[in-house]
Structure 1
Amino acid sequence: MEPSSRPGYHRAALFVVLASVIYAVIGNTFFQLAYRYSAAIDEAYIVFALTSAVYALPVIYWFRRKYWYFALFIPVIWVPMLMITGYLMGLVFPLPEDDYGAGMLLLFIHGLNFAAVVLGVALGLTVNAAVAAWRKFSRE
């Protein structure tokens, strides 16, 4: 039996792509916000903590069953989705081409966002593991 013919496989793969796109849009939106308003960069670590917690919620809800390990692919697929959504947002909200500080800001924001994605996935999987262990050991 092929893995793709098992029930829930396509659903889990769809949730990985969907979560990656959502996280990439959030990251690019925060970059655009930080570029235009300096107050957003002053509170970057608060945003990091909040987005890590928010990123954990879909992992907790969508990946608590058989294909829980698919959530580990979210940071991997997040990178190309970040490039695609960044390009599309650049078409809608263009930045000046001679501003080199925007590149450093981009590296800082997306580095912070990548750490938030990894931490969010780890938090979500940890909560799911704790809930599964609680259910298993409370039956005995």
Structure 2
Amino acid sequence: MKKQVRPSYQRAAFFVVLLSVIYAVIGNTFFQLAYRYSAAIDEAYIVFAITSAVYALPVILCFRRKYWYFALFIPVIWVPMLMITGYLMGAVFPLPEDDYGAGMLLLFIHGLNLAAVILGVALGLTVNAAIAAWRKFSRVQKG
């Protein structure tokens, strides 16, 4: 790999891992909130819409350039990060072992969060593509 290409490659890879960890922590925090407070589960779809938009913002800001496709790895790396952060949060905030409803809640919340991550990445990449197309179209019109 060329020396001048390496920093932007490493930067893009770093942002993929960082965003995956942040999204996993958000998902596990929402699971803990939904487990302890039923009001959080009543508004789950509003949280889904908000988190999808919030997840799109870093993708729009960090993946505009050459390595835009790295953002597609965020949902893939999010899964192991979800397991690691879930284990750590479970050690800090333990749940009772005999509560089987927590497993169903876990599947619902993390399924919803995975959909929000995928939608956020897709939305962010779509906005970036629209911005790039607009800039290119503007240059063609002026030149």
Measured against the shorter chain, the TM-score band is: over 0.9
RMSD: 1.4
Determine the structure 2 residue equivalent to 1:54: 54
Q: Separation in 2 of the partners of 1:34 and 1:68? A: 34
Q: Separation in 1 of the partners of 2:106 and 2:4? A: 37
List gaps (5 residues or longer) in structure 2. none
CA distance change for structure 1 residues 139 and 4 in 2, over 3 Å: closer, same or farther?
A: closer
Determine the structure 2 residue equivalent to 1:63: 63
CA distance change for structure 1 residues 89 and 4 in 2, over 3 Å: closer, same or farther?
A: farther
Q: Separation in 2 of the partners of 1:3 and 1:93? A: 45
CA distance change for structure 1 residues 91 and 4 in 2, over 3 Å: closer, same or farther?
A: farther
% identity of equivalent residues: 89
Determine the structure 2 residue equivalent to 1:11: 11
| Aligned amino acid, residue 83 of structure 1 | M
Q: Separation in 2 of the partners of 1:81 and 1:4? A: 30
| Aligned amino acid, residue 63 of structure 2 | F
Q: Deviations over 1:49-95 (max 9, x none)?
A: 00000000000000001100000000000000000000000010000
TM-score, with structure 1 as normaliser: 0.97
CA distance change for structure 1 residues 137 and 85 in 2, over 3 Å: closer, same or farther?
A: same
Determine the structure 1 residue equivalent to 2:25: 25
Show the 5 A alignment for 1:88-107: 88-107=88-107
CA distance change for structure 1 residues 113 and 101 in 2, over 3 Å: closer, same or farther?
A: same
| Aligned amino acid, residue 112 of structure 1 | L
Q: Separation in 2 of the partners of 1:3 and 1:53? A: 35
Q: Separation in 2 of the partners of 1:119 and 1:45? A: 13
Is residue 36 from structure 1 mapped to residue 24 from structure 2 by the alignment?
no
Shift of 1:3: 9.4
Tell which structure's C-alpha radius of gyration is larger.
2
List gaps (5 residues or longer) in structure 1. none
Shift of 1:6: 2.9
Determine the structure 2 residue equivalent to 1:138: 138
TM-score, with structure 2 as normaliser: 0.95
| Aligned amino acid, residue 73 of structure 2 | F
Q: Separation in 2 of the partners of 1:6 and 1:137? A: 30
Determine the structure 2 residue equivalent to 1:111: 111
